[in-house]
Amino acid sequence: MAGVVNIRRDVDDKFYRYRMPVLTTKIEGKGNGIKTVIPNMSDVARALSRPPTYTTKFFGCELGAQTTFDEKNDRYIVNGAHDANRLRELLDVFIDKFVLCKSCKNPETELVILKSGRTEEIIRDCKACGERTGVDMRHKLTTFIVKNPPVKIKKGKNKNTGGDAAGGVGGGGNPDPAGEHADSPHEDGNESDDYLTKKIKAEAADLNTETALAKEDWSADTSPEAVKQRVKALEGTLAAATLAGGDDDGSDDDANSPYAVLGRWIQENPDEDTKARSLAIYKKAQDLGIEKKHKTVTVLVQALFTANIAAEVESYGALLTKVVTSEKHQKSLLGGVERFIGFTHPDLLATVPKILMAFYQIDLLDEEVVTQWGTHVSKKYVDKDTSKKVRKASEPFLKWLQEADDDDDDGDE
């Protein structure tokens, strides 16, 4: 049986009151279906007064791996083979970022989501010193926490035992009984005003205010000739899109439509600073009145990325998360990939699995949506032959998803 350790492993006091079980792991499956099961994740999370879905999802964010939650059978899985010591190191990082009070370093904290107008912020409310300190909203886990808020345990019920950090406060329960893909009030029809919105407003008030967008270099060739060629290719793409017919929002695909205007503007206004570029693009979409339209997502994929798309996706993750807010938007994202490959980058056909994985890893694509897309050829965005080719190229990624599901089912049995 695994022992217990201090929640703060830098504390060497054997009488330290805040303790947790040593994280254990078990490798299951083989090949592309290999996965790491964490048998005592619930016990560890309970000691931290955090839902086990938070810690598991954190591992997935840090490792770039898919995670699976099975609350009923108490199974928490990270795809891939991961060393127990590596996960313990990441658990220490999670504790530092999302458990310990920033002021007194006490783990007796509760996560609270504060709403200020249309923005949201996650803070650690310390029950030991009374300080309220914020978490780094740039971390991918914060999006998951906002969509799956902690359940506050009522006093006198479900008290934690065995050295739990906060005696039951902080949402030790399950925030999302249905798992990662349960419906959320922030999805479909009710766009979540995430951290990007907060920073957009701050930028408008003070040009010196920093945003939460990641700092990455934009690797496109910005020479006048290269820009001219991309604009020409984009215009051809938008014109070719008429093959699929009009959209349900009544917009045309001609050169004067707001979508064509946005596409040209993106290509003609490159910026090596991706955070500034993302803000400018979103503001331009707002000016054109199309920031919430699903077709805007399709245009972004076509106009924003270069031949290095698989590596560039994460750089624009905050912008994409802002505009992809429903299943319909996800389908438009996939349609954008079809047009990107079919119209301007047919030489990248073999990289479709990597492109889909890049979007999947930043939680822009649900497994059900991309699986259905991969099995149904459509001429909505491109001609039927191109649609078949793109879906055929995506088969390794779809197979990986399927094998992961099959292995999970076998493990449950």
Q: Percent of the chain at pLDDT above 70?
A: 72
Q: What is the mean pLDDT of residues 59-74?
A: 92
pLDDT at 189 over 60: no
- Strand 109-116 to strand 119-126: parallel, antiparallel, or no bridges (unpaired)? antiparallel
Q: What is the mean pLDDT of residues 225-230?
A: 56
Are both 108 and 201 inside the same structural domain? no
Q: What is the mean pLDDT of residues 258-287?
A: 88
Are both 96 and 224 inside the same structural domain? no
Are both 382 and 251 inside the same structural domain? yes
Are both 227 and 132 inside the same structural domain? no
Burial of residue 376 (CB within 10 Å: 0-12, 13-18, 19+) is exposed
Domain count, the chain: 2
What letters, b where the CB count within 10 A reaches 16 and e where it falls short, cover 107-142?
bbbbbbeeeeeebbbbbbbbbeeeebeebebebbbb
Measure the CA dihedral 251/255/259/261, to 10°: -140
Give the pLDDT of residue 169. 34
Domain annotation covers residue 395: yes
- Answer yes or no: are the C-beta atoms of 21 and 84 closer than 8 Å: no
Are both 267 and 393 inside the same structural domain? yes
pLDDT at 68 over 70: yes
- Answer yes or no: are the C-beta atoms of 307 and 296 closer than 8 Å: no
Of 123, 147, 171, which one is at a domain's C-terminal end?
Answer: 147
Q: What is the mean pLDDT of the chain?
A: 78
Q: Which residues of 15-169 form beta strands (DSSP E)?
A: 19-21, 26-28, 35-37, 67-70, 75-79, 109-116, 119-126, 132-134
Q: Starting at the edge strand that comes first in sequence, how are the strands of the sheet with 132-134 ordered?
A: 109-116, 119-126, 132-134
Domain annotation covers residue 183: no
What's the first-to-final CA gap in the chain, in angstroms? 24
pLDDT at 266 over 80: yes
Are both 372 and 224 inside the same structural domain? yes
Are both 243 and 143 inside the same structural domain? no
Give the pLDDT of residue 151. 77
Are both 88 and 209 inside the same structural domain? no
Q: Give the integer Cα–Cα distance in Å for 297 and 269.
A: 18
DSSP character string of 41-60: HHHHHHHHTS-HHHHHHHHH
Q: What is the mean pLDDT of residues 144-158?
A: 69
Q: Which CATH number do you get for residue 13?
A: 3.30.30.170
pLDDT at 74 over 60: yes
Structure tokens at 164: 């739990």
Are both 199 and 109 inside the same structural domain? no
Give the pLDDT of residue 292. 92
Q: What is the mean pLDDT of residues 322-347?
A: 92
Element containing residue 197 per DSSP (H, E): helix 195-205
Structure tokens at 100: 């310990």
Q: What is the mean pLDDT of residues 172-184?
A: 40
Higher-confidence position of 187 and 121: 121
Q: Which CATH number do you get for residue 297?
A: 1.25.40.180
pLDDT at 200 over 50: no
Condensed to tens digits (0 to 9), the pLDDT of residues 100-134 reads 999 999 999 999 999 877 788 999 999 989 899 99
pLDDT at 15 over 90: no
Residue 405 — pLDDT band, cuts 50, 70, 90? Answer: low
Residue 12 — pLDDT band, cuts 50, 70, 90? Answer: confident
Give the pLDDT of residue 154. 46
Determine the 3-state secondary structure of 66 from DSSP: coil
Structure tokens at 34: 């290999």
Domain annotation covers residue 53: yes
Looking at the chain, how many residues does it have? 413
Determine the 3-state secondary structure of 192 from DSSP: coil
Domain annotation covers residue 72: yes
Residue 233 — pLDDT band, cuts 50, 70, 90? Answer: low
Of 147, 177, 212, which one is at a domain's C-terminal end?
Answer: 147
Higher-confidence position of 334 and 3: 334
Q: What is the mean pLDDT of residues 339-345?
A: 89
Domain that holds residue 99: 4-147
Domain annotation covers residue 170: no
Q: Give the integer Cα–Cα distance in Å for 238 and 267.
A: 13
Instruction: Count the alpha carbons within 13 Å of 107 in the hemisphere toward its beta carbon.
Output: 26
Q: What is the mean pLDDT of residues 126-146?
A: 92
Are both 230 and 131 inside the same structural domain? no
Give the pLDDT of residue 241. 44
Of 147, 182, 215, which one is at a domain's C-terminal end?
Answer: 147
Are both 229 and 142 inside the same structural domain? no
Are both 244 and 349 inside the same structural domain? yes
pLDDT at 238 over 90: no
Q: Give the integer Cα–Cα distance in Å for 4 and 20.
A: 5
User: In 3D, which of 381, 370, 373 has the Cα closest to residue 340?
Assistant: 381
Q: Give the integer Cα–Cα distance in Å for 315 and 246.
A: 31
pLDDT at 191 over 80: no
pLDDT at 310 over 80: yes
